[in-house]
Structure 1
Amino acid sequence: MARKAVEQELSRNRILCEARQLFIEHGYHALTMRSIAKAMGYSHGALYYHFSEKAELFYALVTEDFRQLLNQQREMLRRTRLGDMAQLEKLMLEFIKFGLENPNHYEIMFMIKDPELQRYSRTEQAQCLDLFATVVRSVVAKQDNSENKMYNLPWSLFMSMHGFISYNIHYSQSFKDVKKLAEQHVKYLCEGLQG
């Protein structure tokens, strides 16, 4: 009976949402399950009903965020034709949009500095990069002398987008604020592929 009341009061999604902000503001090591619960106005037992430890809570955040991003990207890819430059442009712009519309998610997914925490996102980061690399390589494969670009180019393009997102997150710019600039950035990158 008590567990049912706790579940109704404090949902898993609410914990994830509020914990994400706390991890960004205070860092992983500064928080405990008790401090997270206190910041939310609940007892730490309410959190333990959903998560057995802080690491499990953090990992749930990471996997949820990557699942959301990968689902959005896969859905967009299903609606477009593999190998088209327009598909790559759309994928890149969608990635930038995701990062700037979800800055707290993006910071946890791609900007965590702590080596211990980075391991929680390595598999998901690799899936995201592999999906992006597949699209880049399908475009590059249609060009002459494509062998030289197949492996380094996806990483370079990804890092360029990451830099754009990180810079704008740092200055609290939303996607709406920089949409035209983002579109131009993606166009320049894609024009460079054709040269």
Structure 2
Amino acid sequence: MARKAVEQELNRDIILNVAREQFASKGYAAVSMRSIANAMGYSHGSLYYHFKEKAELFYALVKQDFKVLLGRQKEIIAQHAGDGQTLLRVMMSEFLKFGLQNRNQYEIMFLLKDADLQRYSRTEQAQVFELFSAAVAELLRERGEEDIQRKLYTLPWSLFMSLHGFITYCIRFNQCYEEVEKLAREHVDFLCRSI
């Protein structure tokens, strides 16, 4: 009976939202199931109805956030198939927008330094990069570029890291997307011209 009452009041989404804020602001090591529960005004035991341990809770966050980003990337690919230049431009713009409009999520997805936790996001990070690389490959094929494989070894990585650096810099100085939207567009334009 007590468990049912707790589950009605406290659900996974509430826990995930509070945990995301805690992990992003304090770092994974400094956050415990008890501190998450305290931030919500619950006992830490109530969290264990939903998650067996902190690592499971963290991985649920990672999967949830990457699902949103990967879903958006796949939509962009479907909408702009056959137009590599537009596809790459939109994909880069949307990646910047996602990172800056979802700063806590981005930090958990790409910026946590804990080596044990990075393994939780490796697969999803690779999927994001693979879709980004596919957009670059489409553009190179459309242009009739030679030696695409060699260019695919370095070009997607360079573009991706440039976007990541932009997002990381803005997060570091607490800038939101609306504040840097014009600069973000110019950055994407610059990157597109450099290809």
With structure 1 as the length reference, what TM-score do the two structures score?
Answer: 0.95
How does 1:1-195 map onto structure 2 within 5 Å? 1-141=1-141, 142-147=143-148, 148-193=150-195
Matched-pair contact (CA < 8 Å) for 1:83–1:135: no
Unaligned runs of 5+ residues in structure 2 are none
Pick the structure with more helix per residue: 2
1:15 Cα shift? 0.5
Cα deviation code 1:80-99 (max 9, x no counterpart): 12452011100000000000
51-60 or 83-92, which deviates more: 83-92
Provide the rounded CA distance (Å) in 2 between the counterparts of 1:126 and 1:53: 25
Distance, in Å, in 2 between the alignment partners of 1:82 and 1:154 is: 18
How many residues matched? 193
The RMSD of aligned alpha carbons is 1.2
Match of 2:152, SS state, is: coil
Aligned AA for 1:74? K
Asked if 2 retains the 8 angstrom alpha-carbon contact of 1:12 and 1:50, the reply is yes
Aligned-pair identity in percent equals 56
Q: CA deviation at 1:145?
A: 2.9
- Bigger CA drift: 32-41 or 7-16? 32-41
Structure 1: 5+ residue runs without aligned partners?
none
Q: TM-score, normalised by structure 2?
A: 0.95
CA distance in 2, matches of 1:40, 1:82: 48
- Work out the CA distance in 2 between the residues paired with 1:100 and 1:6: 34
Contact 1:82 1:135 in 2 (8 A): no
* Runs of 4+ displaced beyond 4 Å: none
